[in-house]
Amino acid sequence: MADYKLKIRRHLPETGDAPYWAEYPVDLEGHRSVLDGILQARDRIDGSIGIRCSCQAAICGSCGVRVNGQARLACNTKLSEAAAKAKDGAIVVEPMGNMPILKDLIVNMDAVHWKKVQRIVPWLLPAGDPPEREYVVPAESMIDITQSMACIHCGACVSDCLSMEVDPLFIGPAALAKAYRFVGDPRDSQDEERLRDLAEDPHGIYDCTHCFSCVEVCPKGVAPMDQIMRLRRRATRDFEINDQNNGRRHEHAFTSIIRKKGILDERKLLQDSFGPFRPQGQAELIRSLPTGLRGFARGKITPKTALFHHKLPGVENVQRIYDHAEQHHEELNLYIVGEGGDTDEKEPAMAETPREGS
Ligand code: SF4
Ligand code: SF4
Ligand code: FES
């Protein structure tokens, strides 16, 4: 008797037929993977099920699929765990999102993922002549990029990125995490050019909406959103790059208002983000008028809040948090030290990544 049931989305776009769902019983123990289940169904029931896989050990990144609606590596997802989350007893397996389907569970990684990785110039651009032998860098200077180097290019983050759903041209979490791998590498000489390019591209680093999906689904702990935030920090702090998405000004306006008032003043946010004294800012401000009017219509902004805005009681405590953060500006690499990394157990030399230089 079968232990589990897989409900697989079948589709062969080139035939022009509509996709359909098919159920397959799987006779395996719970510690076996969803990939084992799919392969068993293919061996025993229907040899035409399309699935891509290779290592079966969460290393090659080729078996990305959606299990019960979330992108996963099929080989790294236990049948028992997937069944526990299945709504009607069947484990739902479908192709990853945001990429065109080639056949059943196989998506075209070239069309989206690899194209975007190529976009960020995925190789080192060192200055001068290469050394006679290999480049030698101190181990500590590589700590900052170990997390982004762990990517196995499975595409799970691309699949579940909400910004990519809205803007398919967004460079996306995997490619931007890869970009940080080079920006943070001390051997690369083009960090400013890379950051300028990624900040000025309207589909670049300021196109991420911080939805956390990529952090949640990444099987290797790359946390692409964190790498995007690092790119932004480097772009603003080290090179003061003003992007055409107005991301830098918006970020600065946001943090300054909270520091001063302890609470967000939406009216001032709009004004300060655009900079009303910049000709471009005035045009942007006029363009955003419908947003302001919608705010009035929905009661988010009232005549009183438009004219006066209060400070949060105890705002000095918020300001103390800012002061503390500014005085302790080293970044903990949680990928190396773990969530409890700021305890006594950490190795200080390895755990703290200096913010300056790379
Ligand atoms: S946090 Fe940003 S990059 Fe990550 S999935 Fe959400 S929108 Fe995409
Ligand atoms: S960042 Fe994570 S989820 Fe995205 S492609 Fe790399 S390993 Fe996969
Ligand atoms: S088959 Fe290689 S990661 Fe799953």
Q: CATH number for the domain including 222?
A: 1.10.1060.10
pLDDT tens track, the chain, 358 positions? 558 999 999 999 999 999 999 999 999 999 999 999 999 999 999 999 999 999 999 999 999 999 999 999 999 999 999 999 998 889 999 999 999 999 999 999 999 999 999 999 999 999 988 889 988 888 888 888 999 999 999 999 999 999 999 999 999 999 999 999 999 999 999 999 999 999 999 999 999 999 999 999 999 999 999 999 999 999 988 998 988 778 888 888 888 999 999 988 877 887 788 776 666 666 766 777 777 777 777 776 677 666 666 788 889 999 999 888 888 766 666 666 665 544 444 444 444 444 433 3
Domain count of the chain? Answer: 3
End-to-end alpha carbon distance in the chain:
58
Same domain, 218 and 289: no
* Residue 334 falls inside a structural domain: no
Final residue of a structural domain among 107, 137, 169? 107
**Residue 350 domain flag:** no
Which residues does residue 20 pair with via DSSP β-bridges, in sequence order? 10
Q: Pocket of ligand 1, candidates 159, 162, 216: which has the most ligand atoms within 8 Å of its Cβ, to mutate?
A: 162
Residues 196 and 122 placed together within one structural domain of the fold: yes
Alpha-carbon distances of 327 from 48, 82, 221, 320, 330, rounded to whole Å: 61, 45, 28, 10, 9
Q: Let me know if residue 138 belongs to a domain.
A: yes
| Ligand 1 binding pocket includes 162 (Cβ within 6 Å) | yes
**Tokens encoding 285:** 């401000």
Strands of the chain, DSSP E: 4-10, 20-26, 64-67, 70-73, 91-94, 101-103, 106-107, 331-332, 352-353
Domain match, 224 and 259 both: no
148 and 231 share one domain: yes
In a shared domain, residues 30 and 128: no
Q: Give the pLDDT of residue 252.
A: 85
- Looking at 86, 107, 128, the residue that finishes a domain is 107
220 lies in the same domain as 115 = yes
Considering the domain architecture, whether residues 218 and 163 belong to the same structural domain is answered as yes
Q: Do 62 and 38 have their domain in common?
A: yes
- Residue 131, domain extent: 110-238
Nearest CA to ligand 3 atom 1: 56
Among 209, 238, 267, where does a domain finish? 238
Quick check: is 309 in a domain?
yes
Phi/psi-derived region of residue 185, left when phi > 0, alpha when psi is between -120 and 50, beta in every other case: beta
Q: Can you give the pLDDT at residue 294?
A: 78
* Residue 333 included in any domain: no
The domain that holds 30 is classified in CATH as 3.10.20.30
Q: Does residue 85 belong to any structural domain of this protein?
A: yes
pLDDT for the residue 264: 84
Per the domain annotation, does 212 fall within a domain? yes
171 close to ligand 1 (CB < 6 Angstrom): no
Residues 295 and 309 in one domain: yes
Predicted pLDDT at 330: 67
Determine phi and psi for 146, rounding to 5 degrees. -60, -40
- The answer on 129 and 87 residing in a single domain is no
**Cα 206 to middle of ligand 1, angstroms:** 10
Statement to judge: residues 224 and 275 lie in one domain:
no
- Identify the pLDDT of residue 305: 67
In a domain, 346, yes or no: no
Q: Is 161 in the pocket of ligand 1 (CB under 6 A)?
A: yes
CB proximity list for 55: less than 8 A, separation 6 or greater? 62, 75
Q: Identify any residues that bridge with 4 across adjacent strands, giving them in sequence order.
A: 26
> Nearest residue CA, atom 3 of ligand 1?
173
Residues 28, 88 within the same domain: yes
pLDDT at 251: 82
